[in-house]
Amino acid sequence: MNYLKQQDPKLWAAVVGELQRQLDRLAMIASENYTSGAVMQACGTLLTNKYAEGYPGKRYYGGCEFVDVAEDLAIQRAKELFGAEHANVQPHSGAQANMAVYLAALKPGDPVLGMSLTHGGHLTHGMHLNLSGILYDFHNYGVRCEDQRIDFDEVASLARKHKPKLIVAGASAYPREIPHGRFAEIAEEVGAKLLVDMAHYGGLVAAGVHDDPLPVADYVTATTHKTLRGPRGGIILCKAKYRKDVDRAVFPGTQGGPLMHVIAGKAVCFREALEPDYKKYAQQVIDNAKVLADVFLSGGLRLITGGTDNHLILADATSIGLTGMSATAALESCGVTINKNVIPFDTRKPVDPSGIRFGTPALTTRGMGCDEMRSIGTWIIEALKSPDDEALLQRIRGQVSELCGQFPIPVNGVDIVPIQGALQ
């Protein structure tokens, strides 16, 4: 990064600080991952210079013959990876992908059914401050109180009552496999279309280790940067009959020029996800989460739904005498980065909720397996049980650093390993 260092030392220092943070702490935020060096290189290319409004072969600007190759590769690989009839790889983010599907499938004011944000849904599933909640008449389903699993009786009764034009399945903080077929049955009964937002678990679907929504959903959206391990961005997959409406809803409906360097990164990401190694990776993500969940349960931490089937764990920090905020702070001081999260039927406010969310995608990319999960889980329980014991937190901080030193992160094509003692 010599140009950046010379021309903009302040910004360069921030990037180096972030490099050190990523190297020397355990990234356990469920929505984060490390992209490969090849993905980062693609995103850092001069493709960022090109305007390419439109689609391959049908652009509104000249000189698109090379970016057309990049976008065609991304489209073909996405279709192959997911077995989709059509893929739009232009959405700038998962939120943009969802807004485009809403534009394609709905008119303002139409009734829609989505998962409640407080039960694990996403902002773009009708939260009142989000454009989705402002433009459309969203109604929310949630999970059952007894087992915190999706309440399909409620989904069905709300669907019969509100006659939604669209049902949205998918979540950001739901630790179980989502049975998409059950949503599809209800959608069919009431004449609704089905959008599956697999932003979090798209990588698990790609690897064949999670129920596949493609056969039953009208539209599927995903982010490319979570379990899929690509650059930040979104995609939309759909049947051929929705192709025109979806493409028009992305451009010109909700976006202008596509980010061609990011689309190039998506093409690399999909190619990587087609490799046999990626299937092993995705299975290890789940195995790691299960081991971690077992350690947490033996440590006395209450887990929402009692465990996990996927890449994430949602825990009730109050079961161990803390809040989401105090637990997050205690773990950060040990070099373990997570996020606070509301839990279903939370009695606390979102600024300091009861829950904490953990994920294994990033640690698994570093090469950590079940043994490492056992150590990390034990440290986490120790820290949560004695959050005021500075000596203990310092000891764990050292152990985290030492572990990080054994597992590199990929940066611009080079696997970088932290130098012991050089990073604080």
Closest approach, Cβ 139 to ligand PLP, in A, equals 17
Residue 200 engages ligand PLP in binding (rule: CB under 6 A): yes
In the range 367-386, which residues lie near ligand PLP by CB under 6 A?
none
d(CA 174, CA 171): 6
DSSP state of 333: T
Residue 95 engages ligand PLP in binding (rule: CB under 6 A): yes
Return the residue of 199, 228, 264, 282 that touches ligand PLP, per CB under 6 A.
Answer: 199
Q: How many helices (H) and strands (E) does the chain have?
A: 16, 17
CA distances from 257 to 24, 55, 76, 222, 236 (A): 37, 10, 20, 20, 17
Closest approach, Cβ 163 to ligand PLP, in A, equals 24
Return the residue of 71, 151, 197, 372 that touches ligand PLP, per CB under 6 A.
Answer: 197
d(CA 354, CA 349): 8
Residue 170 engages ligand PLP in binding (rule: CB under 6 A): yes
Binding window for ligand PLP (CB under 6 A); candidates: 170-178, 340-348, 382-390, 391-399: 170-178
The tally of CA atoms less than 13 A away on the side-chain side of residue 339 is 13
Binding window for ligand PLP (CB under 6 A); candidates: 167-175, 298-306, 325-333, 341-349: 167-175
Closest approach, Cβ 3 to ligand PLP, in A, equals 28
- CA Rg value for the chain: 22
Closest to ligand PLP by CB, 228 vs 396, is 228
How many chain residues touch ligand PLP (CB under 6 A)? Answer: 15
Closest to ligand PLP by CB, 220 vs 334, is 220
Closest approach, Cβ 320 to ligand PLP, in A, equals 26
Residue 132 engages ligand PLP in binding (rule: CB under 6 A): no
Bond preceding residue 353 cis, omega within 30 of 0: no
Binding window for ligand PLP (CB under 6 A); candidates: 49-57, 143-151, 166-174, 333-341: 166-174
Residue 148 engages ligand PLP in binding (rule: CB under 6 A): no
Give the 3-state secondary structure of residue 168: strand
d(CA 115, CA 293): 24
Task: Report CA torsion sign: 2, 9, 404, 286.
Answer: negative
Return the residue of 88, 130, 140, 172 that touches ligand PLP, per CB under 6 A.
Answer: 172
Give the 3-state secondary structure of residue 376: helix
In the range 207-236, which residues lie near ligand PLP by CB under 6 A?
223, 234
DSSP state of 408: -
Closest to ligand PLP by CB, 265 vs 335, is 265
Closest approach, Cβ 51 to ligand PLP, in A, equals 22
Q: Two tokens at 194?
A: 């089905």
Residue 118 engages ligand PLP in binding (rule: CB under 6 A): no
Closest approach, Cβ 222 to ligand PLP, in A, equals 9
d(CA 222, CA 228): 9
d(CA 205, CA 83): 11
Type of residue found at 321:
G
Give the 3-state secondary structure of residue 180: helix
Count CB atoms within 10 A of the CB of residue 212: 18
Closest approach, Cβ 221 to ligand PLP, in A, equals 7
Are 171 and 121 spatial neighbours (Cβ–Cβ below 8 Å)? yes
Q: Which residue has the tokens 């039953």?
A: 216
Are 35 and 269 spatial neighbours (Cβ–Cβ below 8 Å)? yes
State the chain's maximal CA–CA distance in angstroms. Answer: 64
Residue 340 engages ligand PLP in binding (rule: CB under 6 A): no
In the range 32-71, which residues lie near ligand PLP by CB under 6 A?
none
Orientation angle between helical segments 260-273 and 65-82, nearest 10 degrees: 30
Catalytic site residues? 51, 53, 197, 223, 226, 232
Return the residue of 22, 31, 35, 36 that touches ligand PLP, per CB under 6 A.
Answer: 31
Residue 314 engages ligand PLP in binding (rule: CB under 6 A): no
Binding window for ligand PLP (CB under 6 A); candidates: 88-96, 127-135, 390-398, 416-424: 88-96
Closest to ligand PLP by CB, 101 vs 381, is 101
Closest to ligand PLP by CB, 35 vs 318, is 35
Closest approach, Cβ 299 to ligand PLP, in A, equals 27
Are 324 and 355 spatial neighbours (Cβ–Cβ below 8 Å)? yes
d(CA 291, CA 110): 43
Q: Which residues bind ligand PLP (CB under 6 A)?
A: 31, 93-95, 98, 122, 124, 170-172, 197, 199-200, 223, 234
